[in-house]
Amino acid sequence: MKRNSIKTIQRLKNIRPISCLTAYTSSIAKIVDQNVDVILVGDSLGTVIYGFKNTRSVTLEMMKNHGRAVMQSSQKSFTIIDMPYKTYVNKNQALDSAKHLLQFTGCQSVKLETDKTTVPIVSHLIKNKILVVSHIGALPQHFKDFSKIRLIGKTTKQKKDMLDLAHQLEEAGSSLLVLECIERELAKEITESISIPTIGIGSSINCDGQILVINDILNTDDTFKKPQFVKTYANFSYYLNKAVKRYDTEVKNRKFPKK
């Protein structure tokens, strides 16, 4: 089976929506890979796998190990890996971090959370033959408390800044643009004004594709409130709880194991 290339994904713009999900482990990657166009090994693993309050404690080593597991367990999807917090504060560090991630994992592209100060770093990576997905709008690595994340694009200044940034990142050579929590009309305007695909998360149907965190769509943890834009497709926590309770009962009542 031939793996999707960035050209394959880019050609889908204006043809059909692009489907993306996160994956962090081998077993999940195998299932996700059978269906979606793009897999993101996201630094969201900090909150959903390691129980951190935010993504700032995620390390390069964590991303490398999860990225390798996902890449080795997938065959079809174009695979992107996040650059962790403070691993791309300058051009040299960014290039070193990106090379380590891609060489160790085999992933096809890195993703950076970007603002106007990060554009030269994106450009530097691309000049050094690193595929870059740029992430604009609400940037989770900027927040210690995710409950403070708000919709971007309500003011004229925010709209202009986001539009300008999108064009700068396209010009720098970004392969894709992730739009997080961007107001729907602004998301539409960005999507229609650039030639590379936009992938939305909480940014309306007006993007070229959509991405969500796999743990959110499966509801693997029902102890915290999920963002309003999340849709749950399976209540995994409910069935896991039932299975564990049944196992526990059978062990204690000597019903398991049988001969």
Could you list the active site residues?
180
Please tell me the distance from the alpha carbon of residue 213 to that of residue 43, in angstroms, as a whole number: 10
Which one, of 211, 209, 236, 206, lies nearest residue 222 by Cα? 236
The structure tokens listed for 149 are 């994340």
> Which tokens is 81 given?
């890996």
Residue 211 identity: I
Amino acid at 12: L
Strand partners, 20: 38, 211
